[in-house]
Amino acid sequence: MNLLGKVFILLPLLVSQSVGIIRIPLHKTRSVRRALSDGLTFEELKSAAEAAWRSDKTTSIPVEKLTNFMDAQYYGVISIGTPPQPFKVLFDTGSSNLWVPSIHCSFLDIACWLHHRYNSKKSSTYVQNGTKFSIQYGRGSLSGFISQDTVTLAGLEVLGQQFGEAVKQPGLVFAAARFDGVLGMAYPAISVDQVKPVFDTIMAAKLLPKNIFSFYINRDVKSGVGGELMLGGADPQYYTGELHYLNVTRKAYWQIQMDTVEVGNTLTLCKTGCQAVVDTGTSLIVGPTHEIRALQRAIGAFPLLMGEYWIDCKRIPSLPVIAFNLGGKMFNLTGDDYVMKISKMGTTICLSGFMAMDIPPPAGPLWILGDVFIGRYYTVFDRDAERVGFAPSRKKRVE
């Protein structure tokens, strides 16, 4: 969800032959937020919750300015160059650029040295560009320069793709991340420096039967399969019933109209309708502070550190259903869907899957439907018809 700066001239792309649906396995990992807070014991977390709850009776909960990928949990593998250099990337529908760490990064950049780094000297298909870029993340910025090379996704070669070589990554966020870089899948309108996004390059080269991609996310913590990204279509074996589609309201993020959010029979949020972004780069469901604060109170959640909320695990069966009205159809989440169980030092704690963040105009205010929602509902992103589709996910693919 960031903007960069200069216009580039793309070299002509060689068009490869069209293929069927391309499947990219997704792997689940701890979110950065989870990794950064794992140094705390359960008793410390509980004490923090109680202290925060007491202070909240007289003061408002401070708004935490989230960095984009603090809550990302699912990544897949791509390669760049010839021969291919592999990278774990977050497939992010909330941004539009592809970037990976560069071999030219600073010796002091811890995040870079903990991850795979792209080496242009080892690629016969590398084309130099060198234009500088910078992406703002919270209080710091990720910076580097633009290069061009072949990007390969599960055997699908995307020729002449421009991407960012990151030489500076800010703070602990990317150092703690299990993924190396980010592959943005939003619209060109929010691409930094107007670099053509990978999926737009695929569309221009007519590499897929349909300009559609879809996500199945498996939130079963006991499963070794994190999910699957499908390029070129949707797989009915991953969902039940029919897909329910909503038109994209603004071609920047994957933004749709949301009619209301109902918390049981006691609380209605987004009362006059609101805008929501469907974002695979965020694990939580995010909304305006005043509304999320009311929701957390309604489900009996206590504020913790780093913007998280604690819930007594014993209360999950009695928690209210939270229903999202999208295009006249209700998409329900039960307590089992929106409460995340985290094991710490032999003890299980439960955290709310909702978080507050105020996104200022002109982009906001916005809700963000992250993996807590996408994990319950198989999601289709359709560039041909400019729409997003949802259907209840199966717990596992039907063979």
How far, CA to CA in Å, does 328 sit from each of 88, 260, 279?
Answer: 38, 9, 21
- In degrees and rounded to multiples of 5, residue 337 shows phi and psi of -80, -40
Closest CA to 141 of 37, 333, 2: 2
Number of neighbours of residue 46 by Cβ within 10 angstroms: 16
- Cβ(37)–Cβ(49) under 8 Å? no
Number of neighbours of residue 130 by Cβ within 10 angstroms: 8
How does DSSP assign 317-360, residue by residue? GGSPPEEEEETTEEEEE-HHHHEEEEEETTEEEEEESEEE----
The DSSP bridge pattern shows strands 274-278 and 309-311 to be unpaired
- CA–CA separation, 229 vs 156, rounded Å? 13
Q: Annotated catalytic sites, by residue? A: 92, 279
How far, CA to CA in Å, does 55 sit from each of 26, 44, 303?
Answer: 40, 16, 10
